[in-house]
């Protein structure tokens, strides 16, 4: 059984901009203005990030003020299944 002791955990969602020197930069929407804002957060010890997700939308799990995990958010596929206009068309 694995027991994890931490004080606080939360997450942020945004676009992963950069990974450098035990820090990550994530672009998010400012809650007050709605404008893009850049959050710089330290990485927890032993955390590795797949560099192929840089530029993609991610969810970062923050534990005790440091990024414990970065999870890519899959893009929602666009379905172009619109109803066809069959008025005046006979089969």
Please give the pLDDT value at position 64: 87
Residue 55 sits in which domain range?
A: 9-72
Q: pLDDT tens across 58-85, in order?
A: 999 999 889 999 999 987 766 654 555 5
Report the CATH number at residue 52: 2.40.50
**13 domain residue, yes or no:** yes
CB 40 within 8 A of CB 24: yes
**80 domain residue, yes or no:** no
Give the rounded percent of residues in the chain with a pLDDT score beyond 70: 76
CB 68 within 8 A of CB 47: yes
**42 domain residue, yes or no:** yes
Please give the pLDDT value at position 16: 97
- The C-alpha atoms of residue 64 and residue 10 are separated, in whole angstroms, by 9
Q: pLDDT tens across 15-61, in order?
A: 999 999 899 999 998 888 889 999 999 999 999 999 999 999 999 99
Give the total number of structural domains in the chain. 1
**1 domain residue, yes or no:** no
């Amino acid at each position: 059984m694995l027991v994890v002791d931490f004080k606080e955990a939360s997450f942020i969602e945004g676009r992963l901009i950069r990974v450098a020197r035990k820090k990550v930069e994530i672009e998010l929407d400012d809650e007050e203005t709605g404008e893009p804002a850049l959050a710089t957060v330290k990485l927890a010890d032993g955390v590795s990030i797949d560099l192929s997700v840089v530029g993609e939308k991610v969810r970062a799990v923050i534990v005790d003020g440091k990024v414990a995990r970065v999870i890519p958010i899959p893009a929602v596929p666009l379905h172009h299944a619109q109803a066809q206009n069959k008025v005046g068309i006979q089969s």
